[in-house]
Amino acid sequence: MNMRIGIFTVHHKEGILTPTQAPFVPFMVGCTSAPPDGFMGDHAGVSLGSLGHNAGSYGDLRAQFSVWKNSINQYDVIGFQQYRRLYFFDNRTMRRLFSETEVMTRATLRHPSIFINAGRSGFERYIQALDQSTDEISSYIEKATASSIIVNRRLVTNEGMVELFKRIHDKEHWDLLVSILHKKGGNYPIIAGEAVHNKWAPYCNMFIARTEVFSQILESLFDIMFEVERNIDLSAGLQLERSLAYIAERLMAMIIIEYAAANPEIGLIDLPVVNYVDHLGDGIYSSLGRII
């Protein structure tokens, strides 16, 4: 029996090609009415907004929450990617349809921080190849998630997760998160301490896992994030629009790493990502570190 796999590509606007063939499911966040044709959306059922949360500040996590609360029983494997960051799958069909596949694989094997970037034409050609190689992609995901969580390639940085966050975002937000982790107890204080030295982590709120693992990760994430939301200052003009999403991005990385550490039967598989970078034109380029 084939597993029911849903890989949700999260959008916040229209205008860019997206994979549409199963297991890929386009998802539009921020919907106040029915989403565009062919898309799922967070306009119906249980959502962050319907529960009175500051939904907009959670960014693409609106999609994860909606799938978790409304559609989880429809899938055996659930994953998320972003409309401008797609998992890079290498298989025989991809190599036949997308000529750069082998070159891209060779590039990503040379260094743990090599990322693949594409202009619109190359990105759209990659998506068309994705939609024609879904059987092989589904087979790979089914086998990989039997004993692993698939994450987008972990980003290697010169500074720890905490230092990096405080340099880019409001340092008080991190301090609030840490205080809540210590209040929760258990392994959370250990997680908070390890983040200071962690220079290798999966960002972007992207991962693929069996449904029961996905549910446990989301349960832990939102249990903490709702307390962050209750205590953070999101008054107009003071914080960035997606402040909760930026905090959750680091927290989810910490939770996924902790899940793998605490469950010896589960590993992490780093899957490269193809990034859409409009100003690159039609080419396919590699970069040392993610450029968007």
Domain boundary assignment for the chain: 5-282
Q: 245 Cβ partners below 8 Å, 6+ apart?
A: 57, 58, 59, 60, 61, 205
Q: Which residue has the higher pLDDT, 85 or 14?
A: 85
Q: What is the pTM of this model?
A: 0.94
Structure confidence at residue 240 (pLDDT)? 56
Helices (DSSP H) in the chain: which residue ranges?
61-70, 92-97, 101-110, 120-131, 134-144, 161-168, 171-184, 188-195, 211-231, 243-262
pLDDT for the residue numbered 289? 64
How much of the chain, in percent, has pLDDT values that exceed 90?
Answer: 70
pLDDT tens per residue across span 177-231: 999 999 999 999 999 999 998 888 888 899 999 999 999 999 999 999 999 999 9
pLDDT value, residue 141: 98
State pLDDT tens for residues 123-159: 999 999 999 999 999 999 999 999 999 999 888 888 8
Residue that wins the pLDDT comparison between 248 and 169: 248
pLDDT of residue 207: 97
- pLDDT given for residue 168 in this prediction: 87
The CA distance from 118 to 281, in Å, is 8
- Length in residues, the chain: 292
Please state, in angstroms and as integers, the Cα–Cα distance from residue 15 to each residue in 30, 36, 81, 245, following that order. 15, 11, 17, 23
Position 158 scores a pLDDT of: 84
According to the model, what pLDDT value does residue 292 have?
47
Average pLDDT over residues 12-39: 92
Closest CA to 231 of 191, 186, 185, 172: 172
Give residue-wise pLDDT tens across range 59-116: 999 999 999 999 999 999 999 999 999 999 999 999 999 999 998 899 888 887 788 8
Give the model's pLDDT for residue 239.
45
Please tell me the least confidently modeled range out of 6-20, 66-80, 138-152, 235-249: 235-249
Cis peptide bond upstream of 23, omega within 30:
yes
Task: Give the Cα separation of 289 and 156 in Å (integer).
Answer: 7
